[in-house]
Chains A and B, each alone.
Chain A
């Protein structure tokens, strides 16, 4: 292992890491913060520095058995406890159990006067005492820069800070030091020049009136790290960074298939519907029936007794229930039985991160087997494209890990190339159905086809999607030289084809009659020939008989005349019969 270069992935032997336990951050940093070294976390006001530091400490104490010291320069112990309690961290309890020590360091500038030389040995003593009292492995100093405001002598402070970081390293604790973002440098007071091992930059910016948080590992000495900006959320369970790259593609895979609620659609999907735990994208222009397909899917799931969570970002639950009722779908009983739950929220109500956090919460609370998001695109308006993609990825990943089958509907604007507009998201999806409008003959008809369905044979046919009082159905569309025919054109085409069939049938009958006639004629000919032959044969037989009769008559006559003339036996002109006849006569 010693020979491994800096690109070694087994960073454990190369540079020991200290896992933060913060979702996503350990993936980006390849295992955590550098163990036994200070890490600088900088960012503007309200970007989550303190929370990140607190979570690092709390998770260290709870998950990794590493007690920690929180040296707070800005918030009192009580404030800090209250603040992190909102993230579900029981800091007060950890303090009671001596897993964490909080030391509030505060100097009021107006009460302090300098006179002569001093050093910050007091700070060292406090820190050392706190560390030793619980055997701490982790230290947070939030934010050290407050000292610049408290202590008038910057020269002393800088010298002492340099000593402090050296001291922290010697002490062997993994430290997180927070600092305010400076205007031209990473931190306001240039702390980055002291902390050279790892620098993480947090950012909270507003683009198009949408606030997003980003995290970037600016520097990580001696280790590979993701250099991109990653969006992160502050949710009910703390911070979670959303790196797409960190997704582990190792979900459990099911071969079970579940029905879509539309029999013909099942037939198009190899006859058995979607895979359980797969993610399905249903794309369509406005009014193509996306919600209807989704509702059918939800109802089918409920009928199987599976809990279904329906996220609606456009319609209220009651509106969906009423509308579905009009096509014969009764969702209300499912809601009453507790199998179907709606969660409706306006996309603009809050930011993307908050939506994601809320959705996670709902999913955890309800434990559904099927989730419908209708439509995912309206949620996408509350963030930039890349963030949304990250969010959907996160969501898909999460749901797949739990074997939850998810149907996302996606609204595309008319006129856009569907494939193009959804390409970013579609790669995450296992199956992709397309609903499309076509106009013609003064009417508008709906089409459905399966664009992709991973791991199953699926129909390549375009089906017409019919919505009636009785529900939905798929019928074969006519596809000819003039394109796809639907609606009345399809019916007209049907009639046309019927006429063609009729004409063909008639023609066939004519042909058949003709053949029959020819056969009859031929047979007539054959019988004529046969009768001719028979006539001739009779004639021939008659002639042959006549010849025989004549010959015997001749012989008889000759013998008679010979007897009359007393002729000798030798009859020169005798024939067999005559001679034979004459022989006994001559002996006589």
Chain B
């Protein structure tokens, strides 16, 4: 489990985003997803997000808990409610909709 924590948040410390990225091994698809997610978080949630990457090859039992079917999948554990996005996150607009985030502005 790789954990990537951003620098300390300075504007809204209460609203920490917890994101989980489910992948299988280090396939190009997974790599793309991770890169896309990181890029997205950096531009929209800088300093107040935490990404947990879960490799289902190593921890298959974790798939059940978050009802994972598709790979890759991003689950927003916090803030509630739980949101799920399937895919390699190449469509940024849909990621925004999926995570209930309107583009800044």
Contact = CB atoms under 8 A, between A and B. Distances in A.
Interface stretch (A100-108, A284-292, A367-375): A100-108
B95 A118 contact: no
Given A111-B84, A113-B95, A120 B89 contact: no
B16 interface: no
A111 B82 contact: yes
A114 B86 CA distance: 5
B86 A115 contact: yes
A125 B56 contact: yes
Contacts of A119: 29, 70-71
Contacts of A147: 69
Nearest to B82: A111
B22 A116 contact: no
A540 interface: no
A118 B86 contact: yes
A128 interface: yes
Given A117-B29, A118-B70, A112 B86 contact: yes
A150 B89 CA distance: 19
Contact of A115 (B56, B61, B63, B91): B91
Interface string B51-95: 000001100110110011111110000000111111111111011
Interface size grouping (class) on chain A: 20 to 34
Given A111-B81, A113-B98, A115-B85, A120 B60 contact: no
A118 B22 CA distance: 11
B24 to A, nearest CB: 5
Contacts of A105: 67, 69
Contact of A113 (B36, B63, B94): B94
Nearest to A112: B84
A103 B68 CA distance: 12
A117 B32 CA distance: 10
A115 B95 contact: yes
B29 A122 contact: no
Nearest to B73: A122
Contacts of A128: 60
A116 B72 CA distance: 10
B97 A113 contact: yes
Given A116-B91, A122-B73, A107 B98 contact: no
A475 interface: no
A111 B33 CA distance: 19
A160 to B, nearest CB: 9
A129 interface: yes
A123 interface: yes
Contacts of B36: 116
Interface of B: 22, 24, 29, 32-33, 36, 56-57, 60-61, 63-64, 67-73, 81-92, 94-95, 97-99
14 contacts: A107-B69, A113-B86, A113-B97, A115-B85, A115-B86, A115-B94, A116-B32, A116-B87, A116-B88, A116-B90, A120-B70, A122-B70, A123-B70, A129-B61
